[in-house]
Chain A
Amino acid sequence: MNKFSKTLPLLTAGLLTGSLLLSGCSTKSPEQASAPSAEQQDTTQAASLQINDPWAKAADKGMSAAFGTLRNTGQQPVELVKVTEEQHRSPVQLHEMTGSGTEMTMKEHQGPVEIKPGAEVELVPGGMHFMYMDLAKPLVASETSTLTLHFADGSSKAVDFPIRNYSGAKERYEDHAGMEDKHGNGEHGGH
């Protein structure tokens, strides 16, 4: 089913156990971008990635967040490098939480997210999530937002995230002063 055995460069060196593995790279390296493209492979990273229960938090403007469970159903690691959204015209970042209890803050995750074969990354309120940085159009409950997930092998996958009302996910936002200006109080948007 998967003959894709050595197409990825060894970006995983230094990666640790656990479902969520972060590479040390802060940006996409040239090898990463080009590595598997010309090689024969029958399963792209996009095809290996399954997303369960995706949803996005309704918001009129400003910031919001999207959640779900990313599962690697393939035989090789999957590296998510970028997320884009066109319909509501917002930049999207991958965020993670730091701290604990009520003192938790979020910050942009640096580098790709690697998911080992068979492993899952859970994007949940209070944990890692996709972050809409500046919505030009509201995320209306009951509608969907299509996020495109881009992977290290150049493949991508468009996923519909149903939009739902949610009054949680109000984590404070760390060290992105520019974003606080847009949002006023440093919390995620949404109503």
Chain B
Amino acid sequence: MAEQQPTVPSRRLVLGGSAAAALSGALVGFGAGRLDAPASAAAEPAQDPSDPADLSPYGAYQRGILEEPQTHGIFLGLDIQWPKAKDERRDRLRSLLRMLGEDAARLMSGDGVLADSEPEMASARGRLSITVGLSRDAAAQAKSTADLSMLEPLPEFSGDKLEPRFGQADLLVQFCGDDPTALAHALRAVRKNLTGLATVRFEQHGFTTPPGQAEHPHAFRNLFGQLDGIANPRTTAREGAVFGHGDEQSWLPGGTVLVLRRIRMDLERWDEVDRPGRDFALGRRQSDGSPLSGQHPDDPVDLSATTELGLPVIAGNAHVALAKPVQAAETMWRRGFSYTDGGESGLLFACFQRDARTAFVPVQRRLAASDAMNQWITHTGSGIYGILPGMSQEAQLGAALFAE
């Protein structure tokens, strides 16, 4: 695992092997199955999910990607107001990213941004992370050598009911943190600084289980009541799925690809489904997330298991059967947040991967075609973003896009 050192020494040093490290499991909700073998305690990441250590803004990768999700997440999508003169757009993108990086660094360090009238609100960080990405077209303004083909718009999937208001934006800023007040301040500060430079397309708020309160260190209960996320890749498998290796980097070395989907969940119709039907549709038990082919949450999803009558234990169109990666390149790291919004409930599905064309796209094609869960979910928003590499005190956010 790459260095992801918090600025505050981790309490894990004191606690030693965490309870989290002792547990490993393989639950899945939405998305892909787990590929790596159960890790030993020694190989678990140094980050204890219940450890609220704050995050350094600097590193090879941006924050808010590899870390276990904070309690709250906000996805801010903006459309850039480009200068009329085309030859000024590259410089505008560079200065805009420099400002965003400086804002992120200050806020993640517990300081207000420049021109901040309420810097006191920044002092409680609560593992604040600010993560920035660009659409293909926005990234193209940099005229760099980045592989923009990885950011090509997603294909249409059957069943999509996409709304432009939740659609592709030029600029995506993900805010995550455990302290809603610090998060609100960070959001406001960044929005204020972008006034006149970009217009907001969406601001989508989500939440997950607070650290230390989850039933499982790597899963949360989504609003269907399912344990979601334990099949997610961990440690080096996560890092590899997100950022690639060696010759196989993402669109920019140190960068990754974020797919953000807004998935509405029909809780009223889900209410009509009894427990066996729910478990059958998912392929796991709602009670503890164990696969229907096993007894424990960390038992493997065995698609060849049959009943006494010779029928598959896990149906071919169960969610886990279709979401399970059929090859390593399909592995993605899901880092979603539930939402409730004016009586609507759902999931802000966010996944990071080296290349969505080999990960999210083929998996979603299978799911869209026949997932038993489809009758209760509707995809209403979609976007794909090139997440920039990390920054340092010497190299501004997005520096690699502007290397001469």
Contact = CB atoms under 8 A, between A and B. Distances in A.
B114 A162 contact: yes
Contact of A165 (B98, B102, B193): B193
B115 A57 contact: yes
Contact of A164 (B92, B98, B115): B115
B300 to A, nearest CB: 50
Interface string B191-205: 011111100000000
A164 B197 contact: no
B197 A55 contact: no
B74 to A, nearest CB: 20
A191 B196 contact: yes
Contact of A162 (B92, B99, B195): B99
B117 interface: yes
A147 to B, nearest CB: 15
A116 to B, nearest CB: 26
Q: Looking at chain B's contact residues, is the secondary structure mostly helix, strand, loop, or mixed?
A: helix
Contacts of B197: 141-142
Contact of B196 (A55, A58, A67, A168): A58
B96 interface: yes
Size range of the interface on A?
10 to 19
A165 B115 contact: yes
Contacts of B99: 141-142, 162, 164
Interface string A41-80: 0000000000001010110000000010000000000000
A29 B113 CA distance: 39
Contacts of B195: 141, 165
A162 B95 CA distance: 10
Given A53-B114, A55-B114, A55-B115, A164 B193 contact: yes
Interface of A: 53, 55, 57-58, 67, 140-144, 162, 164-166, 168, 191
17 contacts: A53-B114, A55-B114, A57-B115, A58-B196, A140-B95, A141-B99, A141-B194, A141-B197, A142-B98, A143-B95, A162-B114, A164-B115, A164-B193, A165-B196, A166-B115, A168-B117, A191-B196
